[in-house]
């Protein structure tokens, strides 16, 4: 496929002339305006690689054999030409002045990255260019009637987001508040949320990714805040409450994301369905489909991985401060997880199964402190690091602007307002 576009002379020049004429030739008092130069006009030809077509195949019409070799060498410094797939867009930039010459080539690797080649004095030079994005902030709020998922999906303020982007947003909110609220068990009718969400929008209108800048969740009348702050300035910030305390905890509440049901709680005595006798249950059972990923609930080192009697396939992780966690009945282990492996909170370590003594697929999860089993659902978990002291001033300076972002989302009324026509309207 081939399309040709001739770029017109910049209209800026014409506007500048019109402006001078309208203002009677006087220069408005807005400071010095740098002169506008017209870029040499170009003709663009865009090719889409057909099945089996190579970059060389497209270029053979435009470049001599020597020039093509030079071009491909430059290209290879950024990307292997063999990795280009069918459908890749290749744009040739021709000068319109005679003699017509190929001045540059853009090869779009995907929606976010392009290898840009330009012909200079020393031959072809290639650079990798990230597609520029426009950053927008989306504000939304609403009430929850059944689940955060349904509420956000039905929020009209978010209608411009694709279903995949909404799913990402819900996942982000779930990850932020997972230590404060169990979205499966604790969310109740009348709970409310508001947030400011940063969206990166590509020139073609599709979206790249987003980050929640500030969020508030009201659960059972209690308000939880999470404000983004990047203490190290490396783009990997985290969330803090209004007092600068981390919203993170050393352990996740659940080793399974979203789709699970707690089928058996921690207890000191329960009737065992297979053994037909009373036994203590020193963990929590999460019923989920076989194959559902199981996450390490905290950072640590794997100290056991393998078959362990009634536990079936078991992973045990040692964490700081005397904690250990156990994950039992796994169908299989995640790749790369072995005794001695370091694992991060949220990392997949295995998959739900029914190995060992199990009536059906579920995860038996234990949290132990100094080798004493504790109830992972009720234990007070150690918090993550607060805002570092040497960054406190910066945090305080950002606090009000972040909160102001939340105020741009429509306010939440204190009374639960039930709507018959949907989960949430975002407009209370
Ligand atoms: Zn169990």
Structure tokens at 314: 């078991």
Residue 8 shares a structural domain with residue 124:
yes
How many Cβ atoms from other residues are within 10 Å of residue 387's Cβ?
21
**CA 421–ligand 1 middle distance (angstroms):** 41
Structure tokens at 220: 């059972």
**CA 360–ligand 1 middle distance (angstroms):** 11
**CA 368–ligand 1 middle distance (angstroms):** 14
CATH number of the domain where residue 286 is located? 2.70.70.10
How many domains does one find in the chain?
3
Q: Which domain holds residue 390?
A: 134-248+386-408
Given 106, 130, 154, the domain boundary residue is 130
Q: Quote the CA–CA distance of 396 and 387 in Å, as a whole number.
A: 10
Looking at per-residue confidence, does 422 or 260 come out higher? Answer: 260
Residue 267 shares a structural domain with residue 317:
yes
CA 412: distance to chain centroid?
27
CA 176: distance to chain centroid?
12
Residue 123 shares a structural domain with residue 13:
yes
DSSP state of 288: -
**CA 342–ligand 1 middle distance (angstroms):** 25
Band of the pLDDT at 157, cuts 50, 70, 90? Answer: confident
Q: β-pairing, 261-264 with 238-240?
A: unpaired
Please give the helix or strand (H or E) that residue 70 lies within, else none: helix 65-76
Residue 113 shares a structural domain with residue 151:
no
Residue 7 shares a structural domain with residue 118:
yes
Q: Quote the CA–CA distance of 262 and 184 in Å, as a whole number.
A: 10
- Cβ contact 338:305 at 8 Å: yes
Looking at per-residue confidence, does 285 or 36 come out higher? Answer: 285
**CA 329–ligand 1 middle distance (angstroms):** 9
Given 374, 395, 417, the domain boundary residue is 374
**CA 292–ligand 1 middle distance (angstroms):** 17
**CA 281–ligand 1 middle distance (angstroms):** 6
Give the model confidence (pLDDT) of 330-360 as tens digits: 999 999 999 999 999 989 999 999 999 888 9
Residue 244 shares a structural domain with residue 393:
yes
- Cβ contact 173:148 at 8 Å: yes
Give the model confidence (pLDDT) of 191-221 as tens digits: 888 999 988 888 877 777 678 999 999 888 8
Asked whether residue 360 is domain-assigned, the answer is yes
Q: For position 272, what pLDDT does the model report?
A: 67
Residue 9 shares a structural domain with residue 77:
yes
Residue 323 shares a structural domain with residue 390:
no
Residue 77 shares a structural domain with residue 156:
no
Asked whether residue 421 is domain-assigned, the answer is no
Q: For position 253, what pLDDT does the model report?
A: 81
CA 72: distance to chain centroid?
34
**CA 133–ligand 1 middle distance (angstroms):** 48
Residue 234 shares a structural domain with residue 269:
no
Given 99, 130, 161, the domain boundary residue is 130
Which of left, alpha, beta for 426 (phi over 0: left; psi -120 to 50: alpha)? Answer: left
**CA 300–ligand 1 middle distance (angstroms):** 22
**CA 344–ligand 1 middle distance (angstroms):** 24
Is the pLDDT at 428 greater than 50, yes or no? no
Asked whether residue 194 is domain-assigned, the answer is yes
Could you list which residues have their CB under 5 Å from ion ligand 1?
283, 285, 364
How many Cβ atoms from other residues are within 10 Å of residue 77's Cβ?
12
Asked whether residue 414 is domain-assigned, the answer is no
Asked whether residue 422 is domain-assigned, the answer is no
Place of tokens 């939304």: 140
- Cβ contact 341:380 at 8 Å: no
Residue 165 shares a structural domain with residue 120:
no
Residue 65 shares a structural domain with residue 168:
no
Asked whether residue 45 is domain-assigned, the answer is yes
**CA 265–ligand 1 middle distance (angstroms):** 8
**CA 139–ligand 1 middle distance (angstroms):** 42
**CA 275–ligand 1 middle distance (angstroms):** 13
Band of the pLDDT at 278, cuts 50, 70, 90? Answer: low
CATH number of the domain where residue 105 is located? 3.10.450.350
* Burial of residue 409, with CB atoms counted within 10 A of its CB: 0-12 exposed, 13-18 middle, 19 or more buried: buried
Band of the pLDDT at 239, cuts 50, 70, 90? Answer: very high
Give the model confidence (pLDDT) of 384-424 as tens digits: 889 999 999 999 998 988 888 888 876 655 444 444 333 33
DSSP state of 139: E
Under DSSP, is residue 91 helix (H, G, I), strand (E, B) or coil? strand
Band of the pLDDT at 13, cuts 50, 70, 90? Answer: very low
Structure tokens at 315: 């992973």
**CA 357–ligand 1 middle distance (angstroms):** 9
Band of the pLDDT at 133, cuts 50, 70, 90? Answer: confident
**CA 311–ligand 1 middle distance (angstroms):** 9
- Cβ contact 75:115 at 8 Å: yes
Please give the helix or strand (H or E) that residue 218 lies within, else none: strand 207-219
Q: Peptide bond preceding 99: is omega within 30 degrees of 0, i.e. cis?
A: yes
Asked whether residue 254 is domain-assigned, the answer is no
Asked whether residue 142 is domain-assigned, the answer is yes
């Amino acid at each position: 496929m081939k399309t040709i576009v001739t770029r017109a002379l910049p209209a800026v020049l014409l506007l500048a002339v019109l402006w001078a004429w309208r203002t009677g030739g006087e220069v408005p008092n807005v400071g010095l305006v740098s002169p506008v130069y017209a870029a040499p006009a170009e003709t663009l030809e865009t090719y889409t690689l057909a099945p089996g077509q190579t970059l060389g195949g497209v270029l053979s019409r435009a470049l001599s054999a020597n020039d093509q070799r030079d071009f491909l060498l430059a290209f290879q410094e950024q990307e292997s030409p063999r990795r280009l797939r069918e459908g890749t867009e290749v744009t040739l930039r021709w000068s319109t002045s005679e003699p017509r010459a190929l001045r540059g080539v853009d090869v779009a690797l995907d929606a976010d990255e392009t290898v840009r080649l330009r012909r200079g004095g020393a031959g072809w030079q290639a650079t990798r260019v990230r597609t520029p994005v426009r950053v927008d902030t989306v504000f939304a709020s609403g009430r929850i009637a059944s689940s955060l998922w349904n509420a956000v999906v039905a929020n009209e303020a978010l209608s411009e987001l694709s279903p995949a982007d909404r799913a990402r947003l819900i996942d982000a909110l779930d990850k932020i508040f997972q230590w404060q609220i169990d979205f499966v068990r604790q969310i109740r009718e009348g709970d409310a949320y508001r947030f400011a969400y940063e969206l990166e929008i590509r020139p073609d209108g599709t979206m790249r990714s987003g980050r929640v800048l500030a969020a508030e969740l009201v659960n059972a009348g209690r308000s939880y805040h999470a404000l983004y702050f990047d203490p190290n300035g490396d783009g990997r910030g985290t969330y803090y409450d209004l007092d600068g305390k981390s919203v993170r905890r050393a352990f996740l509440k659940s080793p399974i994301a979203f789709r699970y049901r707690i089928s058996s709680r921690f207890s000191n005595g329960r009737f065992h369905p297979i053994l037909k006798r009373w036994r203590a249950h020193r963990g929590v059972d999460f019923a989920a489909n076989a194959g559902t990923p199981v996450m390490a609930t905290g950072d640590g080192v794997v100290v056991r991985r393998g078959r362990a009697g009634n536990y079936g396939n078991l992973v045990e992780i040692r964490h700081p401060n005397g904690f250990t966690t156990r994950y039992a009945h796994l169908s299989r282990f995640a790749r790369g997880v072995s005794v001695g492996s370091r694992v991060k909170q949220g990392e997949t370590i295995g998959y739900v199964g029914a190995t060992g003594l199990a009536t059906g697929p579920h995860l038996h999860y234990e949290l132990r402190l100094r080798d004493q089993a504790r109830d992972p659902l009720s234990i007070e978990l150690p918090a993550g690091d607060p805002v570092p002291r040497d960054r406190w001033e910066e945090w305080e300076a950002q606090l009000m602007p972040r909160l102001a972002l939340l105020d741009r989302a429509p306010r939440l009324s204190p009374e639960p307002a039930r709507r018959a026509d949907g989960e949430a309207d975002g407009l209370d």
